[in-house]
Amino acid sequence: MNILYPLKFRPILKEKMWGGNKLKTILNKETHLNNIGESWEISTVGKDISVVVNGNLKGANLADLIKEHKKNLLGNKVYNQFGDQFPLLVKFIDAKRNLSVQLHPNDELAMKRHNSFGKTEMWYVVQADNDSNLIVGFNKNTSKEEYKKYLEEGKITELLNFENIVAGDSYFIKAGKIHAIGAGSLIAEIQQTSDVTYRVYDWDRKDSNGNTRQLHTELALDALEYEINNDFKLVFDQRKNISNQIAHCNYFTTNFLEINNKIVKDYSSLD
């Protein structure tokens, strides 16, 4: 069966209490659902496995295709590093309301506690309302004891670094960095294959039944990066018709490619 063609996948749409309608109105996702917070574009996380919608492989799911075709589908380098576990989850996020303040464990801690990859990720701002922002890291070097004090006193937001954003901004979020996507933001997120999140603050909100969401206060303490590291905002070229690297790490490389002319990309020599 021919697999040497561009595979397209059916988006996996998820309703969220903080979701909106930009995935429908801006990205033209077809759905009858409301408050769509996420569109998973390619995934093998849990039961959320992407399904092919075009060509000879229409109807096949990505996990089965990897098990069957292995290096022929993923390439030698990726398959040698990750085997049958697809290494990425790619999604769009529409935050009509603030997402929770959270962080993700690194590979070592995630494997020990959850038998999972950790989660390093990057964001690309597709669209942002006026005065939209993101939270990335703390606004000063802190410690586990000081962080706990701010959290217990309900003053955690005073310790957080807020970043105003516009379309085209990009951020790199290493495992362990505290973060949140703010209201009015439409984000493309590229991340490790992981759904392990430690939620530490949820803006004191309750669901329709009057319940608060679970927090992971104790789990987060040993996973947090307490010192400031200001390498999170990415600066990259935006030359037309050329691949301009945005981010590169052990898990993914992303490029900005704006096209206004015909270009040819030859991948035949890649491993």
Query: Where exactly are the structural domains of the chain?
Result: 1-16+29-90, 98-271
The predicted model gives 86-98 an average pLDDT of 97
Structure token pair of residue 160: 């957080």
Structure token pair of residue 125: 């701002």
Q: How confident is the model at residue 264 (pLDDT cuts 50, 70, 90)?
A: confident
Q: How confident is the model at residue 231 (pLDDT cuts 50, 70, 90)?
A: confident
Q: Which residues contact 103 (CB under 8 A, 6 or more apart)?
A: 175, 176, 177, 178, 179, 197, 198, 200, 220, 223, 224, 225
Catalogue the active-site residues. 199
What CA–CA distances, in Å, run from 235 to 97, 128, 180? 27, 18, 20
pLDDT at 47 over 90: yes
pLDDT for the residue 2: 60
Q: How confident is the model at residue 168 (pLDDT cuts 50, 70, 90)?
A: very high
User: What is the spatial distance between Cα 237 and Cα 5, in angstroms, rounded to a whole number?
Assistant: 29
- For strand 44-45 and strand 48-49, is the pairing parallel, antiparallel, or unpaired? antiparallel
pLDDT for the residue 271: 65
pLDDT for the residue 1: 56
Q: Under CATH, which number does the domain 98-271 receive?
A: 2.60.120.10
The predicted model gives 186-213 an average pLDDT of 92
